[in-house]
Structure 1
Amino acid sequence: MWTVQDAKNKFSAVVEAAMAGMPQEVTRRGRPAVVVLSSKEYHRLLAGAVKARESFADHLMAFPGGDPDRADVKQGAPRADFARTGAAPRDVTF
């Protein structure tokens, strides 16, 4: 673990350690701030995250009540797990 000042002063050592497969954590004011890792490791992590990510459509369909094939959704009936708060809509003049 490096402080920001030490990492600045010994940046080459930080980079060499990261390239050797040892991610380097840098702290600022005693708190973790950043991690320096090799480009190879970064791209490996990025590819794994992209592969695990679902599509936006799948994300929306996973929302509770997002199944359009349900009879109560089609009929517009309120769902028990999405009970209304009882607040009435405000009057609007057009």
Structure 2
Amino acid sequence: MTDHSTAPDSSPTDTWTLANAKARLSEVIDRAQSGPQIITRHGKPNAVVVSADEWERKTARKGTLAEFLLASPLRGADLELERVHDAPHDEMP
């Protein structure tokens, strides 16, 4: 991936140095509307900027825990589970 600090007329990429992202934050946010924008620090990916819509899609709850468990492929499987009856752990001071 090429950094945005290269040629201004080059095709947009999705990777920014921290300094360049700070200087061009408005552009980073605008471009996040069409795809994730990776911000690097010391040459390594450090953060990702995504649109609010994308964040909502990725973090939206998709059903309840009960629905998840009811849909499990293990539901109705004849599993034999053995419970360990160890002594309780001492509480730490």
TM-score by length of 2: 0.49
Structure with bigger helix share is 1
Larger Rg: 1
